[in-house]
Structure 1
Amino acid sequence: MLDQLNEYSFLGNSLFVYLRAIIILLCGLIVVSLLHAIIGHRLKRRSKSGEEGNRWWIASTAFNRIIVPLLYIAVIRLSIAGLVVNEMLNKVMQGIVSAIIAVLAVRAAIFLLETSLRKYAQKTGHEEDEKRIKPLLSFISFILWVTAFIFLLDNLGFNISTLVAGLGVSGIAVAIAAQGILGDLFNYFVIFFDRPFELGDFIIFDDKMGIIEKIGIKTTRVRTLSGEQLVVSNSNLVNARLHNYKRMERRRIVFRIGVTYQTPASQLVEIPGIIKGIIEEVDGTQFDRSHFQGYGDFALTFETVYYVLSPDYLIYMDVQQRINLDLFRAFEERGIEFAYPTQTLYLRSQGMEVFEQQNGLEKEP
């Protein structure tokens, strides 16, 4: 029987060789299908929910998208390995296999990259990162497909040196012409990974301030306090000295008050304690210090430092307003006078002394 099969040939191969190739192909397809069904079903069953499910989902997707197609290609390649074909058909078959492998390699790289970025976004806990991943993936996918196409042409025997040189010159020209756009694009990556600010953050940069409203590939939208939308390039924001008030854990407040020089020494000693008691009665504050700082031109100055345990500016203003009102009432009850700019002028004329005091002339005999 085998001798009879070896006697007949077609396109340079005996029927036995064709039969062997068919048997290897069918057996290989059956084995791969069984592996796909069994392993794929188990991976799919374990990729349900939770952190562990996410890992199994990655394994299941990688198995179905990458490993199974590679196994099918290996079976086909193994089945036709014993066939004798002409050089042209062999090159065509190698080209098809190379193209399929290149596509699978790019898909695998994109899948791994997408999975890594999504895990990074989940780890940071920011929902907006899910949207910002898409433009990153689109740009990187384009680079990967172009690179894979060039390597595929080189593998098929094409001379790509001219193409690479042309792309290099064209790339340099495009980079020079669009260096601002490319700079904003790469600074978008910096913003994504370094996170100097996020949506909803209140920032101050240069002489501008506002709330981050949208982060784009080239520009970032900032809603200013006066209401208009400020469009700023990503490069300007990354290179600017930026104050992010949203990430301030607490606000340090320094304020000064002045009392008149006619205030008795006994009351001067009491003032730091009065201020301390008022601040400690306000919720959400932490008293630091209060001291008689020095002698001013028209006032005895006290400096006080305390913390508002919230970065919210409105809360800070409410706290400071309450402290100011309570301080005013406390000084009013004790007869302590706040100082304000005054001048004292002394004039001497023929033994007479005229006293000018508190922004007006008052003559006394």
Structure 2
Amino acid sequence: MKRVGYGLLLMWALLPLWSQATTPTLKNVMEQDTPAEEAASKPAPAAPPTVADEHERGSPRSSMEGLLHAMRYGDFEQAGHYLDTRNLPAAVAALDSAELARQLKVVLDRTLWVDLQSMSNSKHGLTEDGLPSYRDLVGKIPLKRRQVSVYMQRVPRGDGESIWKVSNATLSYIPELYRIHGDGPIGEFLSQHLPVFEVMGLQSWQLVALLLFLLIAYLISWPLFWLTNTLIGRRGEHTQHLQKFIRGPLRLLLLVLVIRQTFPLVRPSIEAQAFAEGRTLLIIAFIWVAVAGLELTRQHLILVLKEKGKDQGALLMRPLFTVAKTLVILTGLLLWLENLGFKATTILAGLGIGGLAVALAAQKSVENLIGAITLYMSTPVRVGNFCRFGSQMGVVEEIGLRYTRIRTLDRTVIHISNATFVDLQLENFSEREKIRFSPTIHLRYDTQASQLRPLMDAITEALQAHDKVDEAPVRVRFHKFGPQALQLNILSYITTTDFPVYLEVAEVLNLTILTLLEQHKVSLADATQRRLSHQQTALTSES
């Protein structure tokens, strides 16, 4: 009976524990019997339970999050609640928990990026990480030739519950880590005399140190740049663009390189290092140097082309170098995005699809631009030239990037697209070094041979005697027997490219020839008779 009584008493004592242990099982059984519609309407199961704690130290993630939050706002007294200060070495235990938290913040900021999402949010921590059940690994910090592991450790709170804190095994290395990764003597001194603030992960003393390095570099480089600009300026006014290039982009590039070399000396945080890895200032400096270098090259080429009389090519330099500058800026932007972690190939693929659509829409504009480049480079015509294009003639007034503007003989204006104009047969009259004088004289059939020979010799002598007629060729030939006239052909060249001058010389020569015809008593064929003869000949050939 006593055994039965003891058994009943034991069952009565274990009944609450048994009911707690079996309740989830019974609940699961009930949920399995619940219809699908009711199960779907139930809320998702809650996250793994954590220990209720006033400082949110119930799980590794919540404890680390609370620690980082207190550090971010400089509340190191609060941050001390997240540190396991038990059983520390004497040198470390002598430090106040707030000071220890401050040193830990500096070390973490400069050596370890804490990924809260990868940490466990359960009071049991990570159970399959190969570590003891009371420890979770946050990361590792380099210390000389080895690595110091940063652990979150489950420790007793004193009321039967366990909470998570930064392990004392990690805290024992904090002073040594701070000596290596901390502010150092200069940083400690400056931080005590400067207001406390941060910009992009850099503390106030670090920003002041970088500005001092920049000022020193500027003062050291100033005499060198001044001397260089002075020597270059003595070569003439045409060097002003080179002087601007040295004073501006080249000096900026030098200062940025100095900042990059001195940047590790201020012991920047991981956030500042990540910003520096983007090479933002360096890329800006290189883009400015490249763009200014292209502008310098453009100015030099314009001077060279103008000295050679190629004004058309000088006009083409601006749009060409504008395209080159745009490509430089786009390349720098893609490099910057690549450094920030974006995939430039993906961006280029997107730009390629968009560029294809734009290219299809702007096909005619691109053709006209290429036509303008062809006109500028090959220069079949220039602005001010008189030319024949197709079946029309006129003076070229402007060659734009899309159209060519031509003033016709009727004083009207024609705009022809460059793509069309460059494909036409262009005859440039302004490129002639002389103008041909080649009239055909029709003489009557009753002209005697004794009259014709002296006439031809007299016309030849008259042409050779004129100072505006080129020495060769000068030909006067009895060409053929026409239907109703004898044809006398004259070939010579007047040494001028000015068309009004040519008309004056041609008029003098024509009057001279007419005078010679009168002197040799040779008559011109009647034009009316020759026209009728041509018509009769045409009718005869058709019949």
What is the TM-score with the length of structure 1 in the denominator? 0.81
Matched with 2:260 is: 77
Helix, strand or coil at the partner of 1:240 = coil
Q: After the TM superposition, which of the residue ranges 298-307 and 119-128 deviates more from structure 2?
A: 119-128
| 1:68 aligns with one of 240, 246, 251 | 251
Contact persistence 1:47–1:57 (CA under 8 A): no
Q: Are residues 1:118 and 2:302 paired?
A: yes
Contact persistence 1:199–1:215 (CA under 8 A): yes
Matched with 1:300 is: 486
* Alpha-carbon distance between aligned partners in 1 of 2:401 and 2:225, rounded to the nearest angstrom: 40
Q: Are residues 1:203 and 2:387 paired?
A: yes
Matched with 1:183 is: 367
| 1:38 aligns with one of 227, 230, 236 | 227
Matched with 2:457 is: 273
**Per-residue Cα deviation, 1:234-277 (whole angstroms, up to 9, x for no partner):** 11121211111111111223222122222222211112211112
* Alpha-carbon distance between aligned partners in 2 of 1:200 and 1:216, rounded to the nearest angstrom: 14
| 1:15 aligns with one of 174, 185, 209 | 185
Matched with 1:360 is: none
Contact persistence 2:256–2:282 (CA under 8 A): no
Q: How many residues of Structure 1 are paired with residues of Structure 2 in the alignment?
A: 331
Q: Are residues 1:238 and 2:406 paired?
A: no
- C-alpha displacement at 1:228, in angstroms? 0.9
* Alpha-carbon distance between aligned partners in 2 of 1:244 and 1:20, rounded to the nearest angstrom: 69
Helix, strand or coil at the partner of 1:231 = strand
Helix, strand or coil at the partner of 1:181 = helix
Matched with 2:236 is: 48
* Gap regions ≥5 residues in structure 1: 1-6, 344-365
* Alpha-carbon distance between aligned partners in 1 of 2:494 and 2:515, rounded to the nearest angstrom: 22
* Alpha-carbon distance between aligned partners in 2 of 1:169 and 1:323, rounded to the nearest angstrom: 68
Q: 1:194 to 1:91 in 2, by over 3 A?
A: farther
Matched with 2:54 is: none
Matched with 2:500 is: 314
Greater relative contact order (CA < 8 Å, ≥ 6 in sequence): 1
* Alpha-carbon distance between aligned partners in 1 of 2:298 and 2:340, rounded to the nearest angstrom: 29
Q: After the TM superposition, which of the residue ranges 153-162 and 210-219 deviates more from structure 2?
A: 153-162
Contact persistence 2:213–2:262 (CA under 8 A): yes
* Gap regions ≥5 residues in structure 2: 1-175, 188-205, 531-543
Matched with 1:339 is: 525
Q: After the TM superposition, which of the residue ranges 202-211 and 154-163 deviates more from structure 2?
A: 154-163
Helix, strand or coil at the partner of 1:239 = coil
Equivalent position amino acid for 2:518 in 1? E
Equivalent position amino acid for 1:14 in 2? G
Helix, strand or coil at the partner of 1:297 = coil
Matched with 1:167 is: 351
Equivalent position amino acid for 1:63 in 2? I
- C-alpha displacement at 1:224, in angstroms? 0.6
* Alpha-carbon distance between aligned partners in 1 of 2:265 and 2:489, rounded to the nearest angstrom: 93
When Rg is computed on C-alpha atoms for both structures, the one with the higher figure is 2
Greater strand fraction, Structure 1 or Structure 2? 1
**Per-residue Cα deviation, 1:268-300 (whole angstroms, up to 9, x for no partner):** 111221111222333311252111222222222
- C-alpha displacement at 1:38, in angstroms? 2.1
Helix, strand or coil at the partner of 2:358 = helix
- C-alpha displacement at 1:210, in angstroms? 0.6
Q: 1:22 to 1:167 in 2, by over 3 A?
A: closer
| 2:514 aligns with one of 328, 331, 336 | 328
Equivalent position amino acid for 1:84 in 2? R
Q: 1:240 to 1:200 in 2, by over 3 A?
A: same
Equivalent position amino acid for 1:48 in 2? G
Contact persistence 1:308–1:316 (CA under 8 A): yes
Matched with 1:86 is: 269
Contact persistence 1:22–1:79 (CA under 8 A): no
* Alpha-carbon distance between aligned partners in 1 of 2:486 and 2:218, rounded to the nearest angstrom: 94
| 2:476 aligns with one of 290, 303, 306 | 290
Matched with 1:107 is: 291
What is the TM-score with the length of structure 2 in the denominator? 0.56
Contact persistence 2:455–2:516 (CA under 8 A): no
Q: After the TM superposition, which of the residue ranges 73-82 and 192-201 deviates more from structure 2?
A: 73-82
Contact persistence 1:256–1:302 (CA under 8 A): yes
**Per-residue Cα deviation, 1:168-222 (whole angstroms, up to 9, x for no partner):** 1111121122211111112222222222221111111111211011111100110
* Alpha-carbon distance between aligned partners in 2 of 1:336 and 1:123, rounded to the nearest angstrom: 56
Contact persistence 2:287–2:328 (CA under 8 A): no
Equivalent position amino acid for 1:336 in 2? V
Contact persistence 1:298–1:339 (CA under 8 A): yes
* Alpha-carbon distance between aligned partners in 1 of 2:362 and 2:334, rounded to the nearest angstrom: 24
Equivalent position amino acid for 1:33 in 2? W
- C-alpha displacement at 1:99, in angstroms? 3.1
**Pairwise mapping of residues 239-254 of structure 1 onto structure 2 (< 5 A)?**
239-254=423-438
* Alpha-carbon distance between aligned partners in 1 of 2:184 and 2:516, rounded to the nearest angstrom: 111
Q: After the TM superposition, which of the residue ranges 236-245 and 285-294 deviates more from structure 2?
A: 285-294
Q: 1:303 to 1:34 in 2, by over 3 A?
A: same
**Pairwise mapping of residues 351-362 of structure 1 onto structure 2 (< 5 A)?**
none
* Alpha-carbon distance between aligned partners in 2 of 1:335 and 1:103, rounded to the nearest angstrom: 84
Between the two proteins, what is the percent identity of the paired residues?
25
Equivalent position amino acid for 1:32 in 2? S
Q: 1:10 to 1:107 in 2, by over 3 A?
A: farther
